[in-house]
Amino acid sequence: VLAGEMARRVAVIGAGAAGLCAARHLSARPDQFVPTVYEQTARVGGTWVYTDRVGTDEHGLPVHSSMYKNLRTNLPKEVMAFPDFPFDSSLPSFLTHQEVLQYLEDYTDHFQLGKYIQFLTKVDTVRPVPCPDRTLWEVTVSSVKEPDKQTTQQFDAVMVCNGHYSVPYIPEIPGTDQFQGRLVHSHEYRSPDDFKGKNVVLLGAASSGQDIALEISTVANQVVLSHGKSSLKSKLPSNMRQASGVERFKPPKTVRFTNGEEFEADAFVYCTGYDYHFPFLTPECQVSVQHGRITPLYKHLIHTSFPTLSIVGICCRICPFPQFDRQVLFAQAVLDGKFHLPPKEDMDKDFQQDFQHRLEAGKAPHHAHEMGEEQWVYNNELSRLIGLDPIPKAVELVYRGVHEERVNNLCWYKKGKYEITGPESWRKVV
């Protein structure tokens, strides 16, 4: 920043884990940045705030959280923490959602982030304002309690941290309108009680599908987990089995699978994931979301035409908090000039190549931001480009070890307790 130039004003959208991380790093440099965090609910935590409610909240807004009552993390706390804020070591490895929320509240208190957050404030529009030497951002917000009370402010940069587990993706299946059983998306799943003694089909075998199927199997009659992946290797409960993908529904309650097999279901749960959703970004922002791919983003993060706009935390199959930390620091380095972005053409070429590599590796186009094993190279690259030490290798090794356990022992792996014993070493305690 030039002498006498004011600190940059940064709007942060959302006070979940990513938004809190943005506020923590921006506020740590008050000479450079002044964050304003907009949060449409009354508390921090985003997706980690459990509510019994489904549909709409008390203010008539769609319920954001997809948290269910008995959820425990599928990653151990040893790999979940922000790099500068460990979890309480007395906690078990696999945490309840209450324990993760408490951690985010503690993070907020420890870094004194509350004063930057405007609660019960909904972001209505974000619009770029071209100026001679740069782009400013006009952000219009309203009070959730009095929606006609709107205010507009200008910012030097915007970090979008609104999460991507709140707008259900529901694939079209022929015959849906004739199915007389219960249809529900995992976003609205809260507890297994509704499925007592029922025959249930769940579509999708990513983390939620596996987890919810296991939980429902404790009370249901029969549970069928339908998916197009190769069969889960783990031993499953005796009343739970796998099936191929769903071809169609037949009245009144038949689910027909792609291999021709049929099953009478009282309930059908879509565990089919979520859509990215940025309703506040105006067309002038030039952000395109098509088939699960957001463009034009350099390193899944920085808008190539408007580098002062970043979207944090869009990647899937990752250790989220450590990655958010690196992404925020990278976006911050772009803003303060510590990192000089390549020319726009090169950045556009970079994200096209990234997408091409995925397609060549056999990934579906809608997995444009899915990381899995690629997250480590990605995190390390962000760290390297801005001169930071990489996230300790032990985090990757524990993540891998736990993945191995989960694949072979789905019913019991959350009983494990892990410990990181050095930068590249770990052990399973029990």
Residues of the chain with pLDDT under 50: 1-4
Burial of 375 (0-12, 13-18, 19+ CB in 10 A): buried
Predicted confidence at residue 2, as pLDDT, reads: 47
Predicted confidence at residue 256, as pLDDT, reads: 98
Q: Are the beta carbons of 300 and 314 closer than 8 angstroms?
A: yes
Predicted confidence at residue 5, as pLDDT, reads: 64
- From residue 300, alpha-carbon distances to 307, 352, 382, 401 in Å are 12, 11, 11, 26
Give me the residue label for tokens 């071809």: 247
Predicted confidence at residue 430, as pLDDT, reads: 86
Predicted confidence at residue 6, as pLDDT, reads: 85
For the stretch 24-37, pLDDT in tens is: 999 999 999 999 99
Among candidate residues 204, 213, 207, 208, the one with its CA nearest the CA of residue 187: 208
Following DSSP, what letter does each residue of 88-137 receive, concatenated? PTTS-SSPBHHHHHHHHHHHHHHTT-GGGEE-SEEEEEEEEEE-SSSEEE
Distance CA 170, CA 179 (A): 15
